[in-house]
């Protein structure tokens, strides 16, 4: 009786019977155990491998249940005669004996060399404008979740439901947008997403067919550009002036390409933080009507304005031309991943269909907890408190940046938002910072990650809100040390 060469290792985490199971599948795949061939008895194989007979019995039972083996009663156990005669895969593609990573044996679309998100780790991280999640009261969040769970159980809202999101949260957001941002919307105009990034991706997906164009400023939000490209659209770069998008360049692009949308962050331009003036907004909307394209308005940090009232969103006076994307994550806790899209009902239906393909539905409990926090006024109270704290952090950050980097950079203190835009007088200093950042245990978004064309102005977008004064000073000092290191 042929006894296959099986190697087992008691020190591995994998149970012995599963090691035997995998080894026998490997022998079948390699053709050394042919269809209808009888295997050794459980006792013989157990003796050969020096394991308990029950281990082999478990392995044979598992393989029989899966269809690899068939039992012939007292005659023994054999390889299933219905398996192919030829090996299913070559020897190098069977289960690896080593514990190292397995390489995919098929083609797939690889990620870009640089990840879109800054990885977490033991280093100091300067984000691009995130809030400080540590400041949201944990007991408040826990109470909202408990209330959401109790209510969902009582009202039978724990089943699969509308891909547009929780009705309670959609109503809360619609009410907030009417009262605070001038958008005349109802819940039928709102779709909940897992963060604003998902909303941007869905908007680009429904707007552009492969080969059609979506416009981006020469400095823009990298994940939005990547979303357009992932949907097969052309990402066309248009000019950016100190006052915002170059509207004349937008018109030229519309005459050269089949433009279906433009992505904008008009409240605080990403990454430069500049607000788009009303006259440019109106001219853009004229072009949108003339060339029949949509405006994707990403209003990612509307609430955080220091010393002046926020500008009304473009969606408030052009609802037929604007798809409005917003975030609750910056108001609550980034880890909650709550965003929303606001558009006409037929566009919301199209976006909901895409959600049903990739996500089915969102997280009912999280959404209803957020609705409770919004309706109770806790979100608004927290936003007011955070605006005061972030204003102080902004001022401290500006002082530290001027002290440590003032001889190398130009910057303006932003009127709103949670980040600074630093422009360098000498790009060689910026080059040294980016090249040496890892040596000082520092991570931040590369200047190139914002550029949609090679000749775009380089700079760094540095978020200040998620760090206290000591953490921010430490981060800026590390930037200085990296810039002072040799190239």
Q: What is the CATH number of the domain that holds 476?
A: 3.90.1150.10
Contact (Cβ atoms closer than 8 angstroms) between residue 14 and residue 24: no
pLDDT tens digits for range 17-30: 999 999 999 888 88
Q: 232 and 290 share a domain? A: yes
Sign of the CA dihedral running 423, 424, 428, 429: negative
Residue ranges making up the domain that contains 64: 16-93
Enclosing H/E stretch for 256: helix 247-256
Q: 20 and 83 share a domain? A: yes
Q: 327 and 405 share a domain? A: no
In a domain, 291, yes or no: yes
Q: 301 and 154 share a domain? A: yes
Looking at the 3D structure of the chain, how many domains does it have? Answer: 3
Q: 340 and 208 share a domain? A: yes
In a domain, 417, yes or no: yes
Q: Which two tokens stand for residue 375?
A: 């309706």
> 3-state class of 478 per DSSP?
helix
> 3-state class of 419 per DSSP?
strand
Enclosing H/E stretch for 181: helix 167-181
CATH number of residue 77's parent domain: 1.10.10.10
Report the C-alpha gap between 439 and 419 in whole angstroms. Answer: 24
**pLDDT number for residue 178:** 95
Q: 365 and 399 share a domain? A: no
In a domain, 361, yes or no: yes
Q: Strand pairing partners for 424?
A: 409
Sign of the CA dihedral running 397, 400, 402, 404: negative
pLDDT tens digits for range 80-129: 999 987 665 555 555 555 556 788 889 998 888 877 777 777 889 999 99
pLDDT tens digits for range 353-403: 999 998 878 888 999 999 999 999 999 999 999 999 999 999 999 999 999
**pLDDT number for residue 62:** 95
CA-closest candidate to residue 128, choices 268, 262, 231:
268
Q: Which two tokens stand for residue 44?
A: 């013989």
Mean pLDDT rounded to a whole number for the chain: 92
**pLDDT number for residue 362:** 83
Q: 157 and 271 share a domain? A: yes
Q: 167 and 310 share a domain? A: yes
**pLDDT number for residue 90:** 55
In a domain, 114, yes or no: no
**pLDDT number for residue 282:** 96
**How many helices (H) does the chain have, and how many strands (E)?**
14, 16
In a domain, 105, yes or no: no
Q: 326 and 200 share a domain? A: yes
Low-confidence ranges of the chain (pLDDT < 50): none
**pLDDT number for residue 312:** 92
Last residue of one domain, picked from the residues 355, 375, 395: 375
In a domain, 300, yes or no: yes
In a domain, 274, yes or no: yes
Q: 153 and 83 share a domain? A: no
Q: 73 and 178 share a domain? A: no
In a domain, 366, yes or no: yes
**pLDDT number for residue 89:** 57
Last residue of one domain, picked from the residues 356, 375, 394: 375
Q: 231 and 295 share a domain? A: yes
Q: 445 Cβ partners below 8 Å, 6+ apart?
A: 118, 128, 222, 460, 461
Last residue of one domain, picked from the residues 375, 404, 419: 375
Q: Where are the alpha helices (DSSP H) in 275-377?
A: 278-291, 345-358, 364-375
CATH number of residue 246's parent domain: 3.40.640.10
Sign of the CA dihedral running 272, 274, 280, 286: positive
């Amino acid at each position: 009786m042929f006894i296959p060469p099986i190697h087992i290792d008691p020190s591995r985490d994998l149970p012995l019977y599963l090691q035997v199971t995998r080894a026998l599948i490997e022998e079948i795949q390699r053709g050394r155990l042919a269809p209808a061939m009888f295997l050794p008895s459980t006792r013989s194989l157990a003796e050969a491998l020096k394991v308990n007979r029950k281990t082999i019995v478990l392995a044979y039972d598992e393989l029989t249940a899966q269809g690899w083996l068939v039992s012939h009663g007292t005659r023994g156990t054999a390889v299933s005669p219905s398996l192919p005669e030829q090996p299913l895969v070559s020897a190098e593609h069977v289960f690896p004996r080593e514990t190292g990573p397995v390489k995919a044996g098929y083609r797939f679309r690889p990620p870009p060399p640089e990840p879109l998100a800054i990885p977490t780790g033991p280093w100091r991280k300067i984000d691009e404008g995130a809030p400080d999640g540590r400041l949201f009261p944990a007991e408040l969040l826990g109470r909202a979740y408990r209330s959401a769970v109790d209510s969902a159980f009582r009202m039978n809202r724990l089943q699969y439901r509308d891909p547009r999101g929780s009705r309670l949260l959609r109503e809360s957001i619609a009410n907030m947008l009417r009262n605070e941002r001038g958008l005349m919307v109802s819940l039928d105009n709102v779709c909940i997403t897992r963060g604003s990034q998902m909303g941007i991706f869905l908007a680009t997906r429904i707007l552009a067919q492969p080969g059609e164009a979506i416009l981006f400023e020469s400095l823009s939000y990298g994940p939005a550009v990547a979303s357009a490209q992932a949907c097969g659209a052309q990402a066309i770069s248009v000019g950016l002036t100190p006052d915002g998008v170059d509207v004349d360049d937008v018109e030229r692009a519309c005459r050269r390409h089949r433009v279906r949308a433009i992505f904008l962050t008009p409240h605080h331009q990403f990454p430069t933080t500049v607000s788009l003036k009303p006259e440019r907004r109106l001219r853009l909307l004229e072009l949108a009507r003339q060339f029949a394209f949509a405006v994707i308005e990403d209003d990612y940090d509307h609430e955080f304005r220091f010393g002046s009232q926020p500008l009304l969103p473009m969606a408030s006076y052009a609802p037929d031309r604007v798809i409005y994307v917003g975030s609750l994550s910056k108001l609550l806790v980034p880890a909650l991943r709550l965003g929303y899209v606001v558009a006409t009902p037929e566009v919301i239906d199209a976006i909901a269909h895409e959600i049903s393909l990739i996500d089915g539905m969102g997280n009912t409990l999280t959404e209803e907890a957020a609705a409770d926090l919004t309706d109770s006024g806790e979100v608004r109270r927290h936003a007011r408190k955070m605006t005061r704290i972030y204003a102080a952090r902004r001022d401290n950050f500006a002082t530290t940046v001027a002290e440590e980097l003032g001889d190398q950079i130009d910057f303006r203190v932003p009127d709103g938002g949670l980040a600074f835009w630093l422009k360098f007088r000498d790009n060689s200093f910026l080059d040294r910072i980016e090249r040496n950042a890892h040596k000082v245990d520092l991570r931040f978004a590369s200047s190139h990650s914002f550029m949609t064309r090679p000749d775009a102005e380089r700079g760094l977008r540095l978020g200040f809100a998620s760090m206290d004064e000591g953490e921010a000073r430490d981060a800026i000092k590390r930037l200085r040390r990296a810039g002072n290191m040799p190239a």
